[in-house]
Amino acid sequence: MNAREIALKILLDIHVKGAYSNLSINKYLKGIENARDENLVREIVYGVIENLTYLDYMISKLSTRKIEKIEAKILEILRIGVYQMAFMDKIPHRAAVNESVNLAKKYGHKGLVGFTNGLLRNFSRKKEKIMEIDVKDKIDYLSIKYSHPKWMVKRWVKEFSYEFTENILKHNNSKAKLNIRVNTLKVTREELKNILINYGYKVLETRYAKDGLIVEDPIRITELEEFHKGYFTIQDESSMLVAQILSPRENSVVLDLCSAPGGKSTHMAQIMNNRGRIISCDIYDHKLDLVKENADRLGITIIETKKQDALELNEDFIEKMDYVLVDAPCSGLGIIRRRPEIKWNRKEKDIESLSNMQKIIINNAGKYLKPGGVMVYSTCTIEREENMEVVEYFLNNNKDFVLDEFKHDIRSNMNNEGTGYVQLFPHIHGTDGFFIARLVKENI
C-alpha cells in the first residue's frame, strides 16, 4: 500500500469504526521504513480530521449527491484529494487527483471513479471560489472554517468571547510539538538534551515544566536506545505540571485514583526520588498493565497498581493518604490538537454527565486524605463545568478543604493567578488545554 491508501484505511478506521487516531496510525505505520511516507500519512490523516467540516462543505458545493449519500470509502478518498489540493502546497493538483482516482478504481465501481475524477478536477479548476465560506452567521462561519461542531463553538463564544474562541479553534488545528519528560532518576535534563541534539534532533526546554523537553521533527524517537533504557517518556508539558504542582515529598503515601497509563504516577515517583509509596488505580487490568510497563522501563519501584473504581468509596483508603491525585475522566476538549477526532466523538450532553461523575470522584478522594494532606484535581479540558465548578462544588460540601495557593509563572490572561488553580490554553501557553487545582485538607 502507498501512503494515500494507508491514510484511507486509517480514516475509515476512525470515522467508520470509531478508532482512536493515534492507535490506528501506529497500527498501520508498522513496517513502513520510509520516513517521508510516514510523514505524508500523518499529514493527510490529521489534516482530514482537523478540517472535516470545511472539506465536506467544499465537497458539497461540487457534488450532485448529498454528503451522507456518498459511499464511505469514496467520501474519504474525496476528502483526501481535496485536502491535498486545498492545504498541501507541495503536492501538485494532478498528483492529488490521479492518486485519488486510482484509489477510487480499487475501492469503487466505474461510476464512482468518474464521479471522483470529475469532482476533484472541478475543485482544481475552481479552488479559490470553492474555498470561500458563504455564510452570514458568525458561529456557522467559525464552525466551517475551523471544523468544530457548532455546539462547541457556540458554547465557547458564550464562555469566553468570539476572538478568544477563534484563537482556540485555530490552535486546535495546529500541529502540536512532541514533549518528552526527562527521567531525572537516570539522567538530567541538560544531559538528555545534549544526547538528543547529538542524534540530530532540534531540542528546546519546556517553559513551565522543570523536567520537560520539546523535540521538533521527532521521527522514531521511541526507537532510540535511550527510550528503551528509560531516560524519557512522552508526556505533554501541561500533564507534567500536575505532579509538579502536587509535589509529593519523599517517603509519603500517594494515591493516584485514575492513573493509567501512568505518566503522572511515574512523574510523582521521580519527584519523590523513588522513595515512599504510590498506589496507582484504574478499573481495567490492561490499563494497569500499561502503568506497570512504564514504571518498569523507567526503573521505578515504588508504584503498586490496584484495580479500583474511583466512583466507589474504598473504606480501606479513608484518611490513609498524604497526597491524592484526581486526574479525572473528562471531555478531553483541551487535547483536540493531539486527538482531533475528540471534537466529532464528543456531544454537549456528555459534559453534564462527566461533571456529575467528577463530583462523585473528587468527593471520594477528599475522604482518603489525612488532615493536612494535599489533593490535586486536574482535567485535560477547558470546560468550566468540568473544572472550577467541580472544585467549587467540592469546597461547598467539604468545609475542611481550602484552595492552596502555589507559586507558578503561568500567565493565563484569565485572572486566576495566585488562587490555587490554573487553566492552561493551547493558544496562550503552547500546551494542551489543562486545568489544575491544588487543595489542602485542614487540621480541624
Q: Say how far apart CA 198 and CA 41 lie, in whole Å.
A: 27
> Any residues with CB less than 8 A from the CB of 114 and at least 6 apart, and which?
none
Phi, psi of 103 (to 5 degrees): -65, -40
373 within 8 A of 400, measured Cβ to Cβ: no
The cell numbers describing 395, all together, are: 469546597
Phi, psi of 438 (to 5 degrees): -115, 125
> Any residues with CB less than 8 A from the CB of 306 and at least 6 apart, and which?
279, 280, 281, 288
The cell numbers describing 359, all together, are: 463530583
* Direct distance between the N- and C-terminal alpha carbons of the chain, in angstroms, rounded to an integer: 66
13 within 8 A of 19, measured Cβ to Cβ: yes
Q: Say how far apart CA 378 and CA 376 lie, in whole Å.
A: 6
Q: Cis omega before residue 261 (within 30°)?
A: yes
Q: In what order do the strands lie in the sheet with 212-216?
A: 202-205, 212-216, 178-182, 232-234
336 within 8 A of 380, measured Cβ to Cβ: no
* Catalytic site residue from 258, 281, 330, 380: 380
* 3-state SS record for 116-173: HHHHHHHHHHCHHHHCCCCCCCHHHHHHHHCCCCHHHHHHHHHHCCHHHHHHHHHHHC
For residue 253, the tally of other CB atoms under 10 A from its CB is 18
Positive or negative, the CA dihedral 260, 266, 267, 269 is: positive
The cell numbers describing 9, all together, are: 484505511
Q: Which residues pair with 438 in a beta bridge?
A: 376
Catalytic residue flag (residue 281): no
432 within 8 A of 424, measured Cβ to Cβ: yes
Give catalytic residues, as residue numbers. Answer: 380
